[in-house]
Amino acid sequence: MDVVEKGITRVLTAAMRPLQTYSVFYRRISLRHRRSIRTLILAGVFLAGFRALILVLLQVRHTSNQPELPLTSSQGRHPDKQPPYAQYDLTQFEPLNITGFMNDGHSGKRPCDDLRRESGLKVQKSWFLQDDMVHIARLLNDHPMVDYSRQDGTLTFEEVVSQTWTRFCGSSVWLQKHQVFLTVTRVIFYTEDRKQWPIVSFLRGQVYDRNWNELRDHTLRWQGRNIVFPILFPISFPYLEGHRFFGPEDPRVLIDEGIEDPEPLIVFNMIYKTDPWTRGMHVFRPFTNISTVLTINGDAERAEAEKNWAPFFLDEAKDPVKGGKGQPNEYLHFIYRFNPLTVLKCKIANGLCDLVYEQEIATYLPGSHDDDHGRMTGGTNLVPLPIKSKLGASLYLGFPRSHVDVGCNGESLYRPALMILSEYKGHFHVEYMSDSIDFGSAAFSEEAFLDPCGEGRILIANSIAKWDRSHGQDTLTLSLSVADATVQVLQLQGLFGVIERLYAEDDSPIDMAHRLQLSVLGRWSDAANHVLGCSIEAATNYSTAFYVSGFYKLQEAIANGY
């Protein structure tokens, strides 16, 4: 990097601190005025950015002859350098405010501010899960796609590994019978410092005790089989030398909690055909090593790339309130897309999927969302909510992610959102969807806060690992990744209480019985689309607020002679 690039990076990094004052102010402006505000802001951004660049270049002339300082150990620290078997503090929580939008059945006729609900819970500082990357590299040294021929021959093997291997996208689930967390992580091999363009991916399995101490050389015994962890899962895939993006990606692990000792399921996407190139969703059973590609029945032509399906188990025969154990679920459901809301039902044994619900939105109902810069996709698995319903409605909770193309110079910004999904007699709709959630310092490092359009641009929740509601507890364990570079875990406290209050505060005069009847008729489904639009609009405003605060801070840094 030359001196000009270093000067620009230095000023931009200092400038991009997310000022909560600006964000809160901007997000509380009436929603109907925000589009015009964003237009005015973005119109001035180009001039501000050009002025900032000129001033940076003038400043660099002054500093270009200064010697380069080496990184200190604290500046160059990495989360994977923590000692193994670290003891994490699982007791300290900080307040976390969440803004969301509640479905009230009035399809697009009320402004988003009328649907807004403010909630408060607690979040715990996240911790990092580590692995021995050198050991993994040695295990995969003979794979045909692992080629170190272009690496500097003077480097040690450990140094080569640090420049060609990394891991992220950790997804975890609690195995009650075995009293361990199973964590599945994506491990990638890349070259030329192009992590975003990996050559090949693999899935790694680790197990942890309830306090998140890794259990090495640990044997899980399941139906006469012994599985020793940690492990690289034996998933076969095609590959061609000279090409990229092979192997399983974006794993999501979940279990059917309704049976005694279930085999976990790992859902991922992967290229499984090279002529023509085809990427599809798969289900892998890690204790029996069975992998199945998912196929949608009735598709005249398969999509070139299928990914970002949100999995969940749906079984009306099992009562999430009373609990109890039943037979293994033969089917896995997925949210295929959010707009229009589309749900698939896939048979686990053969991978055949049927489209069982597709939202139909009445064209005569007024709406107020015409911003096409954002959408909701993928995210975590969904888990059942143990809320009683006399008519048999089921509620599910998950953390999809917003994907917004505003604010970071064309680079998309990703954030989790909290969602409640309702199902009644085969009809689905969104009950609640929150604004973007970043968990503050509980998830982000200081470096990520300093650079929200760089290291802080991507925050994705990967799985709901456990939700402890026993003995008066209300603690949800969530796995997440930042900047496609970390494997982190945090805990949320009080979420079920928040959900109970959301329904208690719902001032709609329509009772639950009438509400469900309207759901069948489609009224609540139409209103759900309005809720989704409000959430995406709020996520867009969140992204813009990051952008605006960054430029304010940039000008401030230059004015102060940084």
DSSP result, 512-543: HHHHHHHHHHTHHHHHHHHHHHHHHHHHHHHH
- What is the DSSP track for 22-74? HHHHHHHS-GGGHHHHHHHHHHHHHHHHHHHHHHHHHHHHHHTTSPPPPPPTT
DSSP three-state, residue 295: strand
192 sits in which H/E element = none
Cα-flanking dihedrals φ and ψ of residue 480, to 5°? -155, 165
Cis peptide bond prior to 286, omega within 30° of 0:
no
Q: What is the spatial distance between Cα 377 and Cα 374, in angstroms, rounded to a whole number? A: 10
CB 190 within 8 A of CB 197: yes
Letter string b/e over residues 182-207, b meaning 16 or more CB atoms within 10 A of that residue's CB:
bbbbbbbbbbeeebeebbbbbbbbbb
Dist. CA 477–CA 184, nearest whole Å: 15
One-letter amino acid for residue 305 of the chain: A
Between 429 and 332, where is the model more confident?
Answer: 332
With a pLDDT cut of 90, the percent of the chain lying above it is 54
User: Which pair of structure tokens corresponds to residue 228?
Assistant: 């020793």
- Long-range contacts at 102-105 (CB < 8 A, ≥ 24 apart): 102/431, 102/432, 102/502, 102/506, 102/531, 103/429, 103/430, 103/431, 103/432, 103/524, 103/527, 103/528, 103/530, 103/531, 104/506, 104/508, 104/527, 105/508, 105/510, 105/515, 105/518, 105/523, 105/524, 105/527
SS3 275: coil
- 462 closest CA partner among 266, 258, 175, 200: 266
* Contact of 452 with 546, CB cutoff 8 Å: yes
Query: What residues form DSSP beta bridges with 432?
Result: 102, 420
**DSSP secondary structure code for residue 263 in this structure:** P
Both structure tokens of 250: 């974006």
β-bridge pairing 295-296 and 352-358:
parallel
- pLDDT at residue number 346: 98
More confident residue, 55 or 485: 485
Which residue has better confidence, 496 or 7?
496
Residues 6+ apart with CB under 8 A from 279: 269, 270, 271, 272, 304, 305, 306, 307
Task: Please tell me the total number of residues recorded for the chain in this structure.
Answer: 562
Q: Which residue has the tokens 């000067």?
A: 7
User: Residue 251 — pLDDT band, cuts 50, 70, 90?
Assistant: very high
Instruction: Name the 3-class secondary structure at 100.
Output: strand
Separation CA 274–CA 238 (nearest Å): 7
Cβ partners under 8 Å of residue 76, min gap 6? none
Query: Which residue bears the tokens 């589009």?
Result: 35
- In the predicted model, what is the mean pLDDT of residues 258-264? 91
Mean of pLDDT values over 78-103: 69
Neighbours of 355 (CB within 10 A): 14
**For tokens 């998830």, what's the residue?**
443
Residue type, 108: G
What does 347-398 look like in DSSP terms, one character per residue?
Answer: ETTT-EEEEEEE----TTS-------SEEEE--S--EEE----TT--EEEEE
Which CATH fold topology does 93-549 show?
A: Neuraminidase (2.120.10)
Mean model confidence pLDDT for the chain: 80
Delimit the domains of the chain by residue range.
Answer: 93-549
Burial of 285 (0-12, 13-18, 19+ CB in 10 A): middle
DSSP 8-state class, residue 149: T
pLDDT of residue 553: 55
Token reading at 525: 């489904």
Tokens of 25: 């102010």
Distance CA 400, CA 419 (A): 7
In this prediction, residue 41 carries a pLDDT of 44
Model confidence at 398, pLDDT cuts 50, 70, 90, reads very high
Q: Which residue type occupies 34?
A: R
Residue 283 burial (C-beta neighbours within 10 Å; 0-12, 13-18, 19+): buried
pLDDT at 4: 38
Average pLDDT over residues 145-170: 96
pLDDT of residue 66: 32
- pLDDT band (50, 70, 90) for residue 79: very low
Residue 361 per-residue DSSP state: -
- The number of beta carbons lying within 10 Å of the beta carbon of residue 521 is 10
- Highest mean pLDDT: which of 32-46, 248-262, 508-522, 523-537? 248-262
pLDDT at residue 514 above 80?
A: no
Instruction: Point out the least confidently predicted range of 7-11, 144-148, 415-419.
Output: 7-11
User: How close are the terminal C-alpha atoms of the chain, in Å?
Assistant: 20
Q: Regarding beta strands 277-285 and 265-274, do their DSSP bridges make them parallel or antiparallel, or are they unpaired?
A: antiparallel
pLDDT tens string 462-487: 999 999 998 889 999 999 999 999 99
Residues paired with residue 352 on neighbouring β-strands, in sequence order: 295
Cβ proximity of 313 and 256 under 8 Å: yes
543 versus 244: the higher-pLDDT residue is 244
pLDDT greater than 70 at residue 244: yes
Whether residue 43 is predicted with pLDDT greater than 60 in this model: the reply is: no
138 Ramachandran zone, left/alpha/beta (phi>0; psi -120 to 50): alpha
Q: Which residue has the tokens 């990703």?
A: 414
Residue 53: beta bridge partners?
A: none
